[in-house]
Structure 1
Amino acid sequence: MSDASGEQRSAAPRAATGRPLRVLVADDFEPVRTLAVRMLEKLGHHEVSEAADGQEAVQALERAPHDLLLLDLSMPRMSGLDVVRWVNNRPEIGAVLTIVVISASAHDERPTLAELGVSRVLPKPFRLQQIADVIASLPRR
């Protein structure tokens, strides 16, 4: 069955734990955040918070635990790479957080991102099935 955008509908994938995820979407472009939130909600994940820049992302991660961070690399005030480095210096946060970079220009950064512990890179524009695949592949925690 397809939705209005032509995307194939599937059962709402959840992490291997079977529970809805707590997700943070950090991107300075509001339409990308809105799209990601809608996709996540469609997949059954309603605990989604947003950050418009790297500093807001860090503040959100300090306030509450998250399972998944969808992170743009190019953001004001603090880059996505700096957010990843910040997470790596906080094992209590990094131990439970999976980071997925969403970027239009991440191809040149992939080796660096993998070394920093980024699980995956999704190119923009991303699709519902790509988000579903990321969620389905998350490790049990």
Structure 2
Amino acid sequence: MTKRILVIDDELDIREIVCLSIEAFSGWDAEGAASGGQGLEKAQQGHWDAILLDISMPDMDGVEVFERLQQTPQTQPIPVILLTAKVLPSDRDRFAKLGVAGVITKPFDPVNIGRQMAELLTWPSPSR
């Protein structure tokens, strides 16, 4: 069965590159959400195998989105990987305490982002 990934990032270019990369190099389905609010709606409307979540977004940042996902029984079990350009040692500690599945830093390698996700989620390597 094909994995379904929800990509929540306010930057259109990043969102499109991530979705295209996941589909082209991993063979998974990916769909984007342009804001935390839209991401929460989409997370509740579909079956997702994982969420790739940007930290720095206006209105509602990634940490708040993650906390809201954790408060909803339907979305709480979905593993979340953070996508961020800012990863200081203190950030890694804070993210680990949140209970996220992992962190992928920007800039990321489009060819390997699916493999990175699979490693963090302990999934078999993508088929492509």
State the TM bucket, normalised to the shorter chain.
0.7 to 0.9
From 121, 124, 128, give the equivalent of 2:103.
Answer: 121
Give the equivalent residue in structure 2 for 1:98. 79
For the pair 1:85 / 2:55, whether they are aligned, the reply is no
**Cα separation, partners in 2 of 1:112 and 1:75, compared to 1, 3 Å:** same
Shift of the alpha carbon at 1:35?
A: 0.8
For the pair 1:27 / 2:9, whether they are aligned, the reply is yes
Give the equivalent residue in structure 2 for 1:72. 54
Shift of the alpha carbon at 1:119?
A: 1.1
Coordinate RMSD, CA, aligned: 1.6
Q: Percent identity?
A: 28
Structure 1 residue runs of 5 or longer lacking an equivalent are 1-18
Count of aligned pairs between the two proteins: 120
Q: 8 Å contact 1:88–1:116 — kept in the other structure?
A: no
3-state SS in 2 of match to 1:126: coil
TM-score norm. by structure 2 comes to 0.84
Shift of the alpha carbon at 1:65?
A: 2.2
TM-score norm. by structure 1 comes to 0.77
Q: Flag as ranges the 4+ runs of structure 1 deviating above 4 A.
A: none
Give the equivalent residue in structure 1 for 2:92. 110
Structure with larger Rg: 1
